[in-house]
Amino acid sequence: NVLASLPRVTESGQLVILLLDGAPAGKVCVRYAYTLDNSGWDPVYDLDARPEEGTVRVLLTARLRQNSGMDWRGCDLSIVWQDARPLDAPALPVWRVDEGPVPRPYARAAAEFKAAPVVLAARADSAPNAPAAPVPVLDKGTYARWDLGRVTLPQGQERLVLRQEEWKAPLQWVARPDEQGSPVWLMVERALDSTPWPSAQAEFSVDGLPVGSGRFVPEGNKVRLYFGVDPRVSVTTTTDDKRRGETGIIGKRQTWSWNWTYTVHNARAQAVTVRVERPEPLPVNKSVEVSLDGTRAQKGEDHSLFWKVEVPASESRSISHGVNVSAPAELGLSPVAP
């Protein structure tokens, strides 16, 4: 018997031993596979907004890590991303009309996605080249696989490009003022194509300048991304009126009213359209009446009110917003405007 021992492959010092039955007549081709706990990958996005161009530059990269103690030379490398949510569906909540529904025992963290370990087969027989973007993806529904081809992966960390695009997605300016006013955020909404878009860490920049880190989390086939505050656009709030009173002699009702003016200031060199958002007042009792005054607002899907305010360069524009609430005195309401 010929005994050949291979190098140590784990930090625990385990040894892989190969036993050959009889003397080999010549060269012996041996293939073996093993799993490394200290190797894997994470998807990372680089997102650069260009407000003047109305575009967002999107770069999806794979941050690979391998700590095997050796360089992987000429490896046929594949990486796999899987949905990490639980296998079984959560139990339906109990709905009793006289009390609130029992919350589902389904942690929010379980809805996130994780990356699977790197899977590879190594054959060091040719000089590798880094894969060119974009890398084709194999989508099997429950997982996605990128075949990176023949690469060299040094010990440590490496980043390889998986996908590179430029979205024609004009940025939106969004403000959510309270009584102190509001900064204005840069935001983009995008409908995604049917290829996999992992939920992952993202690095955000505007015109090439970093503005911070966040998360890229698709919601269905859409994603909403914020690129921080635009210091050249802002909103101030003026409280025009705030009243409380009573009406009626029989069946008295309490009344409340608020009136605000929101002024959008644009110090940019070009016009902007700012979406000003406020929560829609929702009565919880059918005897409570709510009405709105001021500049006509549109209603959003998330129980919001919003106005789209067009502001020329270096100018300001204002809108008014009024809310009236009336309720039977015996309800004992004490509403506070957010």
DSSP sequence for 165-206: EEE----EEEE--BTTBEEEEEEEEEE--SS----EEEEEEE
- Strand-pairing partners, residue 264, are 235, 317
pLDDT at 106: 42
**Would you state the structure tokens that stand for residue 121, as one six-digit string?**
């087969």
pTM over 0.75: no
Cβ density class 43-62: b for 16+ within 10 Å, e for less: bbbbbbbbbeeebbbbbbbb
pLDDT at 143: 81
pLDDT at 335: 85
For the chain of 338 residues, list the mean pLDDT of each consecutive stretch of 10.
48 62 74 79 94 92 88 87 74 67 46 40 37 67 83 87 90 91 93 90 94 92 94 94 73 88 95 94 88 94 92 96 91 84
Strands 200-206 and 39-50: parallel
- Rounded to whole angstroms, how far apart are CA atoms 338 and 336? 6
> Which of 74, 11, 81 minimizes the C-alpha distance to 41?
81
Query: What is each CA distance from 57 to 170, 250, 261, in whole angstroms?
Result: 12, 64, 36
pLDDT at 249: 60
CA 55 to chain centre: 18
- Rounded to whole angstroms, how far apart are CA atoms 281 and 242? 16
pLDDT at 102: 52
- Rounded to whole angstroms, how far apart are CA atoms 43 and 150? 20
**Would you state the structure tokens that stand for residue 304, as one six-digit string?**
């919001």
pLDDT at 141: 61
| Cα angle, residue 232 at apex, residues 228 and 234 outer, rounded to 5° | 80
Q: Is 109 exposed, middle or buried (0-12, 13-18, 19+ CB in 10 A)?
A: exposed
- Rounded to whole angstroms, how far apart are CA atoms 323 and 241? 10
